[in-house]
Amino acid sequence: GESVGLHLPTLSVQEGDNSIINCAYSNSASDYFIWYKQESGKGPQFIIDIRSNMDKRQGQRVTVLLNKTVKHLSLQIAATQPGDSAVYFCAETGGTSYGKLTFGQGTILTVHP
C-alpha cells in the first residue's frame, strides 16, 4: 500500500553541524514531495518542496534530494541551529490521489548548543 516513512525517529546534533533527515516512500505515482517542520504547539510549517522532475532543490540552509529509483527523499540542513529543533515530516502526493497528502512518521531533531 501507499506509505511514507522515515529511517530514524530521532536525530541529535551539535549546533553548527549539518543534519540529514531521511524519508522513504512507496507510491511510485507520487510526483510532489514536501518537507514540513512542526514545533511544539504549532502547526506544520512548510520548509521546501520538490517535484518528481527534479533531483535536488536548494533553499536557505536547506536542500532536498530526491532519488526516484529507490523512492528516497532527504532533507539536509546546513549549520544547524537550536531554533531548528522540531519534528520534521516528509509528505507526498500525486497521481490520482493528488490533494491527499500522506505524511511520514516524523523525525525529532534536537540541536544542542
Partner 1 sequence: DTEVTQTPKHLVMGMTNKKSLKCEQHMGHRAMYWYKQKAKKPPELMFVYSYEKLSINESVPSRFSPECPNSSLLNLHLHALQPEDSALYLCASSQGGGVRQPQHFGDGTRLSIL
CB of 57 to partner 1, least distance (A): 12
Q: Which positions touch partner 1 (CB under 8 A)?
A: 31-32, 34, 36, 41-46, 49, 51, 89, 98-106
Cα of 23 vs its chain's centroid, Å: 6
Closer CB to partner 1, residue 15 or residue 103? 103
* DSSP 8-class letter at 69: T
CB closer to partner 1, 5 vs 78: 5
> What sign for the dihedral angle of Cα 95, 96, 98, 101?
negative
CB of 24 to partner 1, least distance (A): 14
Instruction: Quote the least distance from Cβ 51 to partner 1, whole Å.
Output: 6
State the nearest-atom distance from the C-beta of 18 to partner 1, in Å.
24
In the bound state with partner 1, the residue whose beta carbon lies nearer, of 25 and 89, is: 89
- Residue number with CB closer to partner 1 (21 or 34): 34
By residue count, the chain amounts to 113
Q: Residue 88: name the closest of 19, 15, 18, 28 by CA.
A: 19
Task: Say whether 84 sits in a helix, a strand or coil.
Answer: helix
* Burial profile 59-75: b = 16 or more Cβ within 10 angstroms, e = fewer: eeebbbbbeeeebebbb
